Amino acid sequence: MVLLSYDFICQFLPWLFASRFTSIKTIFKDYKSCSLLALFVWWFVSVTVFFSIPPSKLAGYILPAVPPLAIFFALVMNKVLESSNKTRLQTWGIPVFTILVGIGVSAIPHFIRAHQPFFQNQAIFIYLIGALLIVLPLVLVGLYKKQKLKYLTYIFISLIVLCSAVPFAVRILDTKNNVGQTDFAEYIAPSTKIVFYNYYFYDVPFLLKLKQPVYIVNQWDTVHSDSASLEIKDGLLFEPQLKKYLWSEQQLQDALMQKQDLIVISQPHNFATKDPSVKTLHYKNYDVFIFHPSK
């Protein structure tokens, strides 16, 4: 719930700069007796709370909470446009925010593992994105000050510039977070079975570019409550032939006794082995146990 609240704040932060904040208070004051405003508030709260409780729901499920916020900010911006005087926050808030993002993007190669291939290959593009985020807001402010752009057009273009950089910034942060997290890929042979122990790590198959499903160990007979494990189990209703990938604890032990070529990935401190020949690697989000009889 808290994470989703932060997500919404970040998404609508630029509009908050343009709203002058007092416009938000005015909307609540003008529409406090209006049932439509109550509907919007209840719409946002109920959807956000409902989809924050189940652990198996994806982040995208929260999107139905966006329309009431969009309508609310449309009312706020209408109040802003009715006022001829714009404060410094309204004029400079979004440009300064965008410039700070640009500075942050430009500084990334100097602070985040600049020796990594991604940053070496994309350095010019990173600096170009950072420079555009710094220069374009200043150009837009200049055009607005010279009255060559209306305020709404100025804000809209500024937000387009900011939002256009988001996908690239996300890619940079993903690269930062995932650097070194798949070093164990060098131990994966064609015969290796990747086993997730009591948890499904959604990003690992993508990071490893796996072509085959992973094996998942769980107490499947006891999985009934709403969870990611139940979603996986229910998937057998559509592809029952994949049941062979859902292992029990006993099946894992049998595979270990047969000295199969396995790499077991578990949450930190959730799996242990007494076999001294097993290579164990500890990462930020998981532990990796390499049962490799050939190495």
Q: DSSP per residue over 114-181, as a string?
A: TTSHHHHHSHHHHHHHHHHHHHHHHHHHHHHHTTSS-HHHHHHHHHHHHHHTHHHHHHHHHHHHHTTT
In eight-state DSSP terms, residue 62 is G
Q: DSSP per residue over 193-238, as a string?
A: EEEEESS--TTHHHHHT-SSPPEEE--GGG--SSSHHHHHHHGGGT
Top mean-pLDDT range of 31-45, 190-204, 215-229: 190-204
Low-confidence winner among 55-59, 84-88, 105-109 (lowest mean pLDDT): 55-59
* Percentage with pLDDT > 90 across the chain: 17
- Maximum Cα–Cα distance for the chain, whole Å? 78
Over residues 195-223, mean pLDDT? 90
In eight-state DSSP terms, residue 93 is H
Instruction: Say whether both 285 and 189 belong to one domain.
Output: yes
Residue that terminates a domain, selected from 50, 83, 116: 83
Number of domains in the chain: 3
Instruction: Say whether both 128 and 189 belong to one domain.
Output: no
Low-confidence winner among 48-62, 119-133, 221-235 (lowest mean pLDDT): 48-62
Rounded to whole angstroms, how far apart are CA atoms 128 and 115?
A: 19
For residue 40, give its domain range.
Answer: 1-83
Summarised one tens digit per residue, pLDDT across range 170-194 is: 666 666 566 677 888 888 888 899 9
Instruction: Say whether both 157 and 91 belong to one domain.
Output: yes
Residue 5's pLDDT is 45
Residue that terminates a domain, selected from 83, 105, 130: 83
Summarised one tens digit per residue, pLDDT across range 40-51 is: 888 888 888 877
Rounded to whole angstroms, how far apart are CA atoms 221 and 251?
A: 14
- Please check the confidence at residue 199 and state whether its pLDDT lies above 60: yes
Instruction: Say whether both 55 and 23 belong to one domain.
Output: yes
Q: Which helix (H) or strand (E) holds 46?
A: helix 35-50
Instruction: Say whether both 265 and 197 belong to one domain.
Output: yes
